[in-house]
Amino acid sequence: MNTEEKQKNRAVLTQLKNEGYTGVSISFDGAGDSGSINGATAFKEDFILNERVHVDYYGYEPQITNLLDDLGYAILSDSGYDWYNNDGGYGSIHISLLTGDVELDIRIRVMDTEDHLISIEVKNYTR
């Protein structure tokens, strides 16, 4: 994230905080070599990072929505987790506007294969 992007992110988060919002959640989902931010929601009260209690949605201006989407992509990129290739992943990013803490809830999908090689004599078919 370059300096200009950091300044834009700080500005939008500061604006939301000044309007009385206490937290932001950004959801994402991806698979098959692509992924996207599915939306962002700001909350005024009862925003507790670890308890997932979120109340009071914010009606965004398009500019704020785009900035929060960009912030979500930057945080995901910085996380180092591959949430969009192969089976992909999904989750949410939670930002406390009161403390500045950021929590990522990333769920990575993994396809599992079990191989079984069985050698048996089946009398009805082989003799």
In three-state form (DSSP H/G/I as H, E/B as E, the rest C), the secondary structure along 27-38 is: EEEEECCEEEEE
CA distance 11 to 63: 12
Res 94: pLDDT: 92
pLDDT single digits (tens) 5-26: 889 889 989 988 998 888 888 9
Determine the average pLDDT of the residues in 79-107.
Answer: 91
Count other C-beta atoms under 10 Å from residue 47's C-beta: 24
Count other C-beta atoms under 10 Å from residue 44's C-beta: 16
Res 103: pLDDT: 93
What mean pLDDT is reported for the chain?
81
Determine the average pLDDT of the residues in 116-120.
Answer: 80
CA proximity to 107, closest of 125, 83, 74: 83
